[in-house]
Structure 1
Amino acid sequence: DSSDGELELSAVRHQPEGLDQLQAQTKFTKKELQSLYRGFKNECPTGLVDEDTFKLIYAQFFPQGDATTYAHFLFNAFDADGNGAIHFEDFVVGLSILLRGTVHEKLKWAFNLYDINKDGYITKEEMLAIMKSIYDMMGRHTYPILQEDTPAEHVERFFQKMDRNQDGVVTIEEFLETCQKDENIMSSMQLFENVI
């Protein structure tokens, strides 16, 4: 019976929202969205990326290290609705923020990445988990800054700078305020703007 097969296929393949709607939600043109969608469908024919696939794709960019843990955190930041899969919409909305978003939008996205349990606070444990995953991903010998400086020291400096009221957690307000006053952070936010 072919109708069973068709039903299964339609359940597996995810159709993205209309282009007009995505264009309204992002800072991409229709042409850019079509091009991104072709690339996405090429890598992910079902229209969905699960975490394992995401880790495999991401690992290709960091052959000298282990990107598994960082890719896990990144996957969760892209998987906006927390359903265990990245749809094209999730991907393109996140990408739009990272590439073309305002500084405020990019910082909110970064805060969401660091706030692993999504409770509205960054704890030292969360920050340390992220730092260790970046350290693993970069490989021990490729990034001198990380070599001389252990993830724990990095976290301590981060908290000295960010945790204004010294309550042991960083709120979104503390994060935004500190980042916007830090020239190094601000210049690194501009790096990705002209990628596409």
Structure 2
Amino acid sequence: MFAAFKGCFSLKRPKQTPGYEKPSVLAAETPFTVSEVKALYELFKKLSNSIINDGLIHKEEFQLALFRNRYRRNLFADRIFDLFDIKRNGVIDFEEFVRSLGVFHPNALVEDKMKFAFRLYDLRQTGFIEREELKEMVLALLHESELVLSDDEVEMIVDNTWKDADTNGDGKIDLEEWKELVSKNPSLLKNMTLPYLKDITMAFPSFVLSSEVEDTEI
């Protein structure tokens, strides 16, 4: 479902690139090697200038990279964009891109993956996952996977998950309960590791799903 960006790119790194940090600095503070950071920089340049030529990834460019369609809306894409936007200014700069993507590296700490996934499900950013948020994410997953379940089946999935997660019965899932749930169900973090980040190409990483999407004229 993801557009592949290939080609030969210049290795010039203009100082005016927003959020630019030397590859050696980012490599020292993320799971990436210097050469991997350089490859990510080439990918970032392509993405950040695909619609607006300003060296920043806007949400429309993020959508275009994910779906080849700048107008397609997706709950996961919106949440991932928001989490990558560390500075909370509506765009993703190079430093944010590398540091956030580092969570998906095979060598990233499981603790970091757990925290990122928790924030992904915490749609309203309250510090807790509420039942309605869990249901929204389940419905989004089913929709993107093109699985059709009845309302009763969806409720059963949510109820069973909630029963396992809300161990103290306070009507919400906190971070410690989430960690306990994930430790019992490691498949919940399956999409938090992208094996090919160890061999980075110019293909945009598949963050969440692997389904095919028809090419769309922009």
TM-score range, shorter chain: 0.7 to 0.9
1:96-135 alignment runs, 5 A limit:
96-99=102-105, 100-135=107-142
User: Where in structure 2 are there 5+ consecutive unaligned residues?
Assistant: 1-13, 199-218
The answer to whether the 8 A contact 2:58-2:90 is kept is yes
What is the DSSP-based 3-state SS (H/G/I as helix, E as strand, rest coil) of the residue aligned with 1:48? coil
Q: TM-score, normalised by structure 1?
A: 0.77
- Equivalent residue in structure 2 for 1:55, among 55, 63, 83: 63
- Equivalent residue in structure 2 for 1:14, among 11, 18, 28: 18
Deviation at 1:182, TM superposition (A): 2.7
The 10-residue stretch of structure 1 (98-107 or 52-61) with the greater mean CA deviation from structure 2: 52-61
Deviation at 1:42, TM superposition (A): 1.4
Structure number with higher relative contact order (C-alpha < 8 Å, ≥ 6 residues apart): 2
Q: Within 2, Cα distance between the matches of 1:190 and 1:48? A: 24
- Aligned partner of 1:85 in structure 2 is 91
Deviation at 1:26, TM superposition (A): 0.7
Q: 1:128 to 1:39 in 2, by over 3 A?
A: same
- Aligned partner of 1:5 in structure 2 is none
- Equivalent residue in structure 1 for 2:158, among 142, 150, 155: 155
Deviation at 1:109, TM superposition (A): 0.7
What is the DSSP-based 3-state SS (H/G/I as helix, E as strand, rest coil) of the residue aligned with 1:125? helix
Deviation at 1:32, TM superposition (A): 0.5
What is the DSSP-based 3-state SS (H/G/I as helix, E as strand, rest coil) of the residue aligned with 2:173? strand
Q: 1:179 to 1:31 in 2, by over 3 A?
A: same
Q: Within 1, Cα distance between the matches of 2:42 and 2:134? A: 35
Bigger strand share: 1
Percent identity between matched residues is: 28
The answer to whether the 8 A contact 1:103-1:189 is kept is no
**How well do the aligned residues superpose, as a CA RMSD in angstroms?**
2.8
Q: Which amino acid aligns with 2:63?
A: K
The answer to whether the 8 A contact 2:103-2:192 is kept is no
Q: Within 1, Cα distance between the matches of 2:38 and 2:125? A: 32
- Aligned partner of 2:210 in structure 1 is none
Q: 1:23 to 1:120 in 2, by over 3 A?
A: same
Q: Is it true that 1:138 corresponds to 2:145 in the alignment?
A: yes
